A = this chain, B = another copy of it.
């Protein structure tokens, strides 16, 4: 890391007090209310007056204080809060982007934070956002306790849960068809002759992980290949534990010939563990990811759309803000199997 000092003038000297409407009014020789009118494009100001005011605003670099405005007006702060698991995860950054997009169209700013799967952190973020009086809240739940939100909801802050349902409050929720997805994955693999299909999922206390496991089980039963405890591993999270698990699955008495991965990170860990291995099991991953089609073999996935999820949730939120007070809805977005090769390997 190198550090260079620039030459030339420095833009900021030191701490000039910020101009207020009062300063603008004084400079323009009008009352503060007139400045307010100009700033808010209210009618009833003579053009020449308005011009003087605008000149003063420009000269002083005035920027109205939204804290004061929001306090006074009491209604909308023009912000919505987004609590997710990790912005760094491409799936959630896709969600974030979609949320931002729609919020922008509706003149709102997005405040977001990552819970890192920590319920305490989720709560902290959500309540912090409430203190800032966000107009609405989008939450990817980390925990199962959401009664802390009841006072906020009662006070009129709409809340939409996405990707996972809330634990103990009834509220709008947008999910993807987790069960249907893994059912389809197993069906697909079975139709290619696999009878020993393993499932590698996240910790089972995570809603999506559990649902996907249920789908896997149902898929196995439907395909007539039965559900076998020893083919399931929930929880392996990092690369090495995934590798170990894979080895085990391939060295048991009747080894797995195919694997269903419970989410995008697990899929990637599996791919890395498999790299350079001769004996590759067939693979179907939950969540699509960039470049899946360029790997060899290309990776078959259960795809669902991060931006569709974000959009559906945000649309729901804005419907509430627009006054929709019908009973809470639960929206389930479809998933689709994208066959690319890795799941079409014959047993």
Contact = CB atoms under 8 A, between A and B. Distances in A.
Interface of A: 1-6, 8-18, 60-61, 63-68, 70-71, 77, 79, 86-90, 92-94, 96-97, 100, 104, 109-114, 127-128, 130-133, 149-156, 158, 169-171, 268, 271-272, 275, 289-291, 293-296, 312, 325, 327-334
Given A170-B11, A272-B294, A65 B61 contact: no
A340 to B, nearest CB: 12
23 contacts: A3-B331, A5-B328, A5-B330, A11-B154, A12-B154, A12-B171, A16-B155, A18-B155, A66-B67, A66-B133, A67-B68, A67-B70, A67-B133, A87-B93, A88-B96, A89-B93, A97-B114, A109-B132, A271-B291, A272-B294, A289-B290, A290-B290, A296-B296
A131 to B, nearest CB: 5
A9, A114, A268: residue with the most chain B Cβ atoms closer than 10 Å: A114
Q: How many copies of this chain are found per oligomer? A: 2
A63 B127 contact: yes
Given A329-B4, A334-B1, A151 B71 contact: no
A87 B93 CA distance: 6
